[in-house]
Structure 1
Amino acid sequence: MSTHDKYLTPLSSRYASKEMSELFSTRTRYSTWRKLWYNLAIAEKELGIKAITDEALEQLKANMIVTDQEIEDATKQEAIVRHDVMSHVHVYGITAPAAAGIIHLGATSCFVTDNADLIFLRDGIDILIPKLVNVINRLSDFALKHKDLPVLGWTHFQPAQLTTVGKRATLWIQELLWDLRNLRRARADIGLRGVKGTTGTQASFLTLFNGDHDKVEQLDERVVELLGFDYAYPCTGQTYSRKIDVDVLAPLASLGCTAHKFATDIRLLANLKEIEEPFESTQIGSSAMAYKRNPMRSERVCSLSRHLQSLFQDAASTASVQWFERTLDDSAIRRVSIPSAFLTADIVLSTMLNIVSGLVVYPKVIERRINSELPFMATENFIMAMVQKGGDRQECHEKVRVLSHQAAKVVKEEGGDNDLIERVKNDPYFAPIHAELATLLDPSTFVGRAPEQTEKFVKKTVAEALKGLEQHISSQEAQLSV
């Protein structure tokens, strides 16, 4: 059957990166199982199991990467025995005949399935962190570049006090820094299930080593060491606690929240024509409306971020309904939700990196919008300046109120421009401050400490958060998938 004749998830076939797709591929999964069996055999031989020969280890090592034919053979075997792990034990034994009798010695299926999943969780985060670091780094460059550019702030999506383009970007960056912190915490917490046996008691390994408890503990520690982990969970049932999946998918879902908020802001700014995501010279915005520049990248981020947030519920629900030492109703859903979460997070970050690497700012549009709203915001400055010239605060307030309402009527009912400043200039009452109006209306005097906050945040907070991660920062062009 052609791949065009069956459903393929667009997460892997359309969007995700090569490295993340390979991590959760069939070949990587089954080759990781073989890696686990090989390292278990090494540790068992080191601790005195004479049935494991050097030839057996050599054959296991030489055939650690599963071939297409072996995957097909294991699939056929599984159709007979209805057990995926034993199917691969059978096929690996044919490939490495000297080791056929000792593969999976003392282990339960979860030795390979669960330990492999923990390896994938760890390696998946290792793929995501560099991408997140680069999003933060490039967005920080953007923030510094535009730290002094005044822009109209919005609360309730209504005009509010001015901020700067750079300061607004710090709001996005700060949440991304929290996501980086959460991912690094989750990464540091991941251990191995280790060698714990059928219900977590290590009974089979105690039998294997003739009741020698020390050797069983050494076996557990040695396998963990061989596989590059710092520790194994001290207590497991047949599986590692599914709460570990919760602890990993939670920061991924949280990243989805950050990404959705960022992309929504970009979509709104694109509508305001103040900031746009990159738009390629040959890109088509609409099949009918040739003039359109739809923010398709940001829309993709929003769409997939919602999916990413929803996958956390799979992990939480699964963890809560496990029975005693294990139940199998976790298996099928985890095959879907865990790879989906990592593939989706990978796509979201790659798309965000493409967006932040090419954001386009339109200062003239920003200036025009400021000028349409600033006169109203500056009225308090007018009142204070008049009082300093000897005017009466209450009388001045009433004058400003009347002129403001007249200007607002022109804007709202007649569709005209905000002419409040012209009204102030033409009113003899305000003659004492006519010469100061330009200064009183300078947008840079309305942004508070936004430029200073932005510079300090990037040079101190961001720099500290990225300390030790500089090797991940790249100037490579951020490509967008189809």
Structure 2
Amino acid sequence: MTNRGVDVEFQPRDEQQLEGAKGQCGPSPFDTYQTSLTTRYCSPEMSRLYSQRSRHSQWRALWLFLAECEKELGIETITAEALEQMRQHLEVTDADFEIAKVEEKRRRHDVMAHVHAFGAVAPAAAGIIHYGATSCYITDNTELLLMRDAINLLLPKLARVISNLAKFAMEWKAMPTLAYTHLQAAQLITVGKRAAQWAQDLVLDLESIEHARDGLLLRGAQGTTGTQASFLEIFGGDGSKCDQLNELLCQKTGFAGCYDVSTQTYTRKVDLIIANAICGLGATAQRITGDIRHLASWKEVEEPFETDQIGSSAMAYKRNPMRSERVYSLARELLSKPANFANTLSDQWMERTLDDSAIRRIDIPEIFLLADAVLGGLDNITSGLVVYPERIASRVQEELPFMITESLIMRLCAKGLSRQEAHEQIRVLSHQAARVVKIEGKPNDLVSRIKATSFFQPIWGDIDDMLRSELYIGRSVEIVERYCGPEGVVEKKIQPYKADIEKSATTELNV
């Protein structure tokens, strides 16, 4: 192949060479595509949760639950020996996966392949595994269980990031800094108040995700098209036993109940609700890390930067905000996901079409893996933010003369001067000072101009005292204390996660 004028001939290695290199260890992971989410970005616990072993072991647990409930409701063909053998083989082994692989190649059906693999190690149960069920009993209920467990992994991590920001906000609650509207300098806030705003957005995410989790229900045992016809037949036409079956399944899985109406699947609206809650975190993360990247550019606030860290392979002086850039990038991908879930919901014709399968196998794990990676990055960043007070104060003083002009007008009016005339005098001098800054590259000399203009003589004595930045932060300190303080909103919201926050260490990033 040709690469920009350089001829490079690609010679595939001989198959025997490949096999020799692999030896007895099987294919090297370096010879096949690996997702960056699991190899580089997200936590081991989230990777394990969405592993094949975790998923297919959950299938076996659901088959056991179904058999136990059916036996309890009078199905005599299910023996104690069958249940015991199922209990002894709930975790899918490597050997089980090999059996399932052979069976799936033969039968072209992944659920039935694992039915046979389970039956191979639990022969007394081979004839009753999956009794009365459709594939979605296994796949859909597992998806709901995994989503609930994944959310329970995310929430303490989200609470930790909120806690980090609340502590940061309280530490810097009184440090005046430039606020920006339209990305132009506006009235002052404090470093802490900006962090409190970030924390509030994350608290709203926390509430949204909690609400979505608490609304999750089980699909249960609903039959092929949601009519429970197969179970009605099993129980001799006794509909009350169909209801009892689902009540027992909910008890075993820890759900409050089943969805009132199912088709072959639980409604894919549920996936969209979950995705919207999880992916909303991406918007918040992008907003926060975007702010940090701007602040780093202005040299006011920086993410952690380690002693031996290299910012650029060429420009040795650089301190690139790579952590924030990574989170921003992962958040962008997370934000793209809800459209897929909306399209899948809208494309479910009648009682179900299978074009929901492949995309959900990718997107459901990925929203949680992405969210996990985003939160890990945010934890790392927010636990070590670095503030440069003198730089911040210097930038405030560059703009403060413009910001006190409204107060100057008010004081002139109090002395009996015309507001309109005061406004015009300020306007002219402000534009002159701005020209000096922009055109000549010199410091802001508005104060000097005011002191040299006789119109302002009645308040000349007030001006120096008016240049204290803390006079213009409004109620920033009080706002931060009410929201992030010991008795504030944040403390109440993260209280359920305090034990997890206190025992967890700061997330380490693979840079």
Q: TM-score under structure 2 normalisation?
A: 0.91
Is 1:465 the equivalent of 2:493? Answer: yes
Sequence identity (%): 52
Alpha-carbon displacement from aligned partner over 1:33-67 (angstroms, at most 9, x marks no partner): 00001111111111111111111111111110000
Is 1:143 the equivalent of 2:143? Answer: no
**Partner of residue 257, structure 2:** 231
Runs of 4+ in 1 over 6 A off after TM superposition: none
Is 1:26 the equivalent of 2:52? Answer: yes
**Partner of residue 16, structure 1:** 42
Is 1:406 the equivalent of 2:432? Answer: yes
**Partner of residue 328, structure 1:** 354
Query: In 2, Cα distance between the equivalents of 1:171 and 1:47?
Result: 54
Q: Residue type matched to 1:100 in 2?
A: A
Secondary structure (helix, strand or coil) at the match of 1:288 reads coil
Alpha-carbon displacement from aligned partner over 1:364-408 (angstroms, at most 9, x marks no partner): 111111111111111222333344445554554444344333322
Is 1:434 the equivalent of 2:463? Answer: no
Is 1:380 the equivalent of 2:369? Answer: no
Query: In 1, Cα distance between the equivalents of 2:239 and 2:137?
Result: 19
Query: In 1, Cα distance between the equivalents of 2:421 and 2:77?
Result: 101
**Partner of residue 291, structure 1:** 317
CA contact (8 A) 2:179 2:188 kept: yes
**Partner of residue 7, structure 2:** none
**Matching of residues 269-288 of structure 1 within 5 Å:** 269-288=295-314
**Structure 2: stretches of 5+ with no match in the other structure:** 1-26
**Partner of residue 74, structure 1:** 100
Secondary structure (helix, strand or coil) at the match of 1:374 reads helix
CA contact (8 A) 1:111 1:195 kept: yes
Shift of 1:241: 0.7
Is 1:476 the equivalent of 2:509? Answer: no
Q: 1:85 to 1:406 in 2, by over 3 A?
A: same
**Matching of residues 74-473 of structure 1 within 5 Å:** 74-389=100-415, 391=417, 393-427=419-453, 430-459=456-485, 460-473=488-501
CA contact (8 A) 1:35 1:64 kept: yes
CA contact (8 A) 1:150 1:163 kept: yes
Secondary structure (helix, strand or coil) at the match of 1:163 reads strand
CA contact (8 A) 1:252 1:309 kept: no
CA contact (8 A) 1:179 1:255 kept: yes
CA contact (8 A) 2:379 2:506 kept: no
CA contact (8 A) 1:136 1:173 kept: yes
Indicate the larger mover: 22-31 or 230-239.
230-239
Secondary structure (helix, strand or coil) at the match of 1:469 reads helix
Q: Residue type matched to 1:273 in 2?
A: K
Alpha-carbon displacement from aligned partner over 1:111-137 (angstroms, at most 9, x marks no partner): 111110010111111111111111111
Q: Residue type matched to 1:8 in 2?
A: Q
**Structure 1: stretches of 5+ with no match in the other structure:** none
Alpha-carbon displacement from aligned partner over 1:166-206 (angstroms, at most 9, x marks no partner): 11112211111111111011101111110111111111111
Alpha-carbon displacement from aligned partner over 1:400-455 (angstroms, at most 9, x marks no partner): 34433332222111111112223334445544433322321111111111111111
Count residues in correspondence.
Answer: 482
Q: 1:78 to 1:449 in 2, by over 3 A?
A: same
Secondary structure (helix, strand or coil) at the match of 2:200 reads helix
Query: In 2, Cα distance between the equivalents of 1:477 and 1:294?
Result: 21
